[in-house]
Each structure stands twice: as C-alpha cells, then as structure tokens.
Amino acid sequence: MPPIDRVRLASDATIISTLHQFLDRLEHFVMPVAAVTALHRVRHAAKEETQAWQRSVLEGGSLVDELAEHALVAAGLQVHLATLAAGLDPSALSPVGDGVCPACGGAPVASIIVDRANAHGNRYCVCSMCATQWNFVRIRCCSCGSTKGVGYQEIDGANGTIKAETCDECGTYVKVMYENLDTTIEATADDIGTLALDLLMKDGPYRRAAYNPFLLRF
C-alpha cells in the first residue's frame, strides 16, 4: 500500500483546516459570481458535506451539479496531499502497480518526457493529486503497463509537444507531454489546455484513463 492512506484521509480533520486556509487566500481574488458563491458555500458547509466532496475527489469522481464546489475542494486536497508527499522519503517509495502513484495511490494526470540533469529523455508519470512524479519507461501504457500496441495521436498541425499515448491492450489513452521540447509545460494545467485533443479522442476507440479533478469525466 502507498504510504498516504486515502481511506483515512477523508476523515482526517487537518484536511479541512488546510482547505479553509486555502479558501481564505482565495477571498482576495476577483472571481466570477458563480465562483464566489461556491467559495462561500464550501467555507460554510457542514463537516459531513465537505467530507463527502473530499471522498468524491479521492475516488476520482466529478459532480456535475456541484462542479465549482468540487473544484475548490479538489484544489485544497491537492495542497494537502502535495504537502504530505513532500514529507516522504523518496528512497522509501516502491511501485504499487501500473497507473498508480507510489505515494498516494492516485491515477496519473499525464506523463512527461524531461530533459534534466542525469535524466535526459526520461519519462515520469505525474500524480493528479499529490504531484509526485515517478519514473516510467517510454512507449509503455501508463494505465495497464503493456508495451504492445502503443501508439500516438495528436491534433493535425499541433507542434508535437503534447500527444495522446494510446494502448490497444486496455483501450485507453493518457497524454504524454514533452517538457524537453517546452519547459513551460505543467501537467494538470496543460491537460486542461489540450481539451481539444480529448474531444478528438472521444470520437475514437480509446477512453481516457487519466484523472484530472478539474475536468468532468467523459
């Protein structure tokens, strides 16, 4: 099991404290009316309702009727999980399965090809919730681990920095982002920024395996 226990997290009182500190900081930003309304609702929600939103995010769900509240709770959870992950000893982490974060058990939001010292051209999966990056060999399905039937698709005329890596074995795709070609890439934000690629893939045989708490499941 990964060291960050998601089952226990949902009832961890410190998460709500982190969430409220995060929401306090958002108060100072100019936001659309719908976002202000959601912020007020989350700030004053009963503990049980907040925990239900947290469970939904941790289980990879998306609430169509409460999308703004869900996004705010997800952002607060990301702060909390990233803080927990940052306190772990990387050398103590071990793989827990394909498509699973070794720190918190979350699904990847995408994978990135990097150009870093001692890691030229290496690939890392990026956790959708705690931001941990774990090494994952290239041309291998990030969801099921198969090395057979892996292909790449992108929108016509795109610059090749973000593609959908498809797998014929499990019928899914996860985006691969080439940070070595564009150093400004940020996995969670650029996953949303390339929604057009998901819409293209929606018409094909592959379903999306990655999780992004700021996108509806489709």
The whole-angstrom separation of Cα 139 and Cα 188 is 21
Residue of 167, 174, 177, 210 that binds Zn ion (CB under 5 A) = 167
Cβ of residue 41: shortest distance to Zn ion, in angstroms? 27
Tokens of 160: 């090749």
Selected range binding Zn ion among 8-16, 161-169, 184-192, 197-205, rule: CB under 5 A:
161-169
H/E segment holding residue 175: strand 172-178
Helices (H), the chain: 6-9, 13-26, 33-43, 47-58, 67-86, 187-193, 195-202
The whole-angstrom separation of Cα 190 and Cα 194 is 6
Please answer whether residues 136 and 124 qualify as being in contact, where contact means their C-beta atoms are separated by less than 8 angstroms. yes
What are the DSSP calls for 93-134, one per residue?
----STTS-TTT-PPEEEEEEEEETTEEEEEEEEETTT--EE
Closest CA to 185 of 75, 87, 111: 111
Number of residues that bind Zn ion (CB under 5 A): 14
Residue of 141, 174, 185, 210 that binds Zn ion (CB under 5 A) = 141
Selected range binding Zn ion among 8-16, 92-100, 119-127, 210-218, rule: CB under 5 A:
119-127
Q: Does 168 bind Zn ion (CB under 5 A)?
A: no
Residue of 49, 98, 169, 186 that binds Zn ion (CB under 5 A) = 169
Cβ distance to Zn ion smaller for residue 78 or 161: 78
Q: Does 10 bind Zn ion (CB under 5 A)?
A: no
Q: Does 111 bind Zn ion (CB under 5 A)?
A: no
Q: Does 122 bind Zn ion (CB under 5 A)?
A: no
**Secondary structure (3-state) at 167:** strand
Cβ distance to Zn ion smaller for residue 17 or 147: 147
Cβ distance to Zn ion smaller for residue 144 or 158: 144
Residue 125: phi, psi to the nearest 5?
-80, 145
Q: Does 106 bind Zn ion (CB under 5 A)?
A: yes
Q: Does 101 bind Zn ion (CB under 5 A)?
A: yes
Q: Does 153 bind Zn ion (CB under 5 A)?
A: no
Q: Does 130 bind Zn ion (CB under 5 A)?
A: yes
- Which residues lie near Zn ion (CB under 5 A)? 101, 103-104, 106, 127, 130, 132, 141, 143-144, 146, 167, 169-170
